Amino acid sequence: MSNNKTIWWLLLIGWMAGSAYWHVCKIKLLCDAPLTSSTVISTTAPTISPLTIVDGSELNLTSSGNFGFAKSGADANFSGVQAEIDSLASFAVANPGKIITITGSYSSQETNGTSFPNLGIARASAIKSYLISKGLPDSVFVLNGQLNDAIVFSPDSLHGGIDFTFAKRVAVTENDLANEQKYESIFKPLDLYFPTASAEYIKTGENQKFLIEAKKFLSENKDKKLLLTGYTDSDDSAEWNLKLSKKRAEIVKAKFVSLGVPADRIITDGKGEADPKASNDTPEGKRANRRVTIVVQ
């Protein structure tokens, strides 16, 4: 009797084992699954676009890396572009007739903690500071900031964000500026310019024509005045520039009085560095801003 029970127990165990095998291996198909699994983590580094600096056929630089900036930061990492930026400095020193515009990009996601109007200009200024340390004058550079929300941070660093463009420096002298002035009417302002370190304004056919017509008109119209307004560039203090601009207007008044215009018919004023005609960031712009404007009112 005990032998029969043993046989039945063995058959029951075998049937249970077979059922379990069939369910797990044939229905669930788990018998060929690996005992362990692993997660593959990509370690691919972010793609960094190379820096390119091109000035026509005169300059063509390409780096393997690019500038680096922390998110919301203005300090530049030069490690990926050191050779190229040094070559740019050498090129600019050898070509003083070039104006270099540096444009820095920034994102609206970033916070501007600098004293510059935006983070792009702050980044451009960091590049300019390095180039100036290589012997270039401040007047060579123009700085721009550009909002660009396509900037990609990886994970919190920006690679790139700086562009360079080049232009020829226009050699403009005070004589050029004076000769550009055209007389149309005594009621339309005309600018007078001075040679460097001279108190005598540059006389041209156009401004002498203005003077002749103004004298005639003022002699016939006692209620009208000749207004002389002096201007300066942004060098020196605002207080000094205001005094200098008034002095220039007084110098022109004295010249006009000596030529027959009654002193009581001339009003002088000085605006200092206000209302610039051109950017004070270049020598040419500064020369354009050093003037006395004349008009009948």
DSSP for 134-197 reads TT--GGGEEEEEEE-TT---SSSEEE--EEEEEEEPP---HHHHHHH-----TTS-EEE---TT
Task: Name 64's Cβ contacts closer than 8 Å, sequence gap at least 6.
Answer: 50, 80
pLDDT digits (tens, 9 = 90+) for 6-63: 666 666 676 676 666 666 565 555 565 454 444 444 445 557 889 999 999 999 999 9
Give the separation between CA 145 and CA 163, rounded to whole angstroms: 10
- Residue 7 or residue 255, greater confidence: 255
Which tens digit of pLDDT belongs to each residue from 158-174? 999 999 999 987 667 89
Taking the C-alpha atoms of 89, 93, 96 and 99 in order, what is their torsion angle to the nearest 10 degrees? 10
> What percent of the chain is predicted at pLDDT more than 90?
64
DSSP H/E element including 209: helix 205-220
Q: How high is the pLDDT of residue 282?
A: 81
Judged against a pLDDT cut of 90, whether residue 85 lies above it is answered with: yes
Verdict on whether the full-model pTM lies above 0.85: no
Helix (H) or strand (E) holding 70: strand 68-70
Q: What is the pLDDT of residues 157-214, one digit of tens each?
A: 999 999 999 998 766 789 888 988 999 999 999 999 987 667 788 999 999 999 999 9
pLDDT at 151 > cutoff 70: yes
Give burial (CB, 10 Å; 0-12/13-18/19+) of 140.
Answer: buried
pLDDT attached to residue 31: 61
Residue pointed to by tokens 């007078």: 192
Residue 254, pLDDT score: 93
CA 158 to chain centroid, in Å, comes to: 18
pLDDT, residue 155, reads 87
Residue 235's pLDDT is 86
**C-alpha span between 138 and 236 (Å, rounded):** 16
Amino acid 32: pLDDT: 56
Average pLDDT over residues 255-267: 93
pLDDT at 43: 47
C-alpha to C-alpha distance for 107 and 104, rounded to whole angstroms: 11
- The reply to whether omega before 155 is within 30° of 0 (cis) is yes
Q: How far apart are CA 53 and CA 85, in angstroms?
A: 9
Mean pLDDT of 101-126: 96
Average of pLDDT values for 259-283? 91
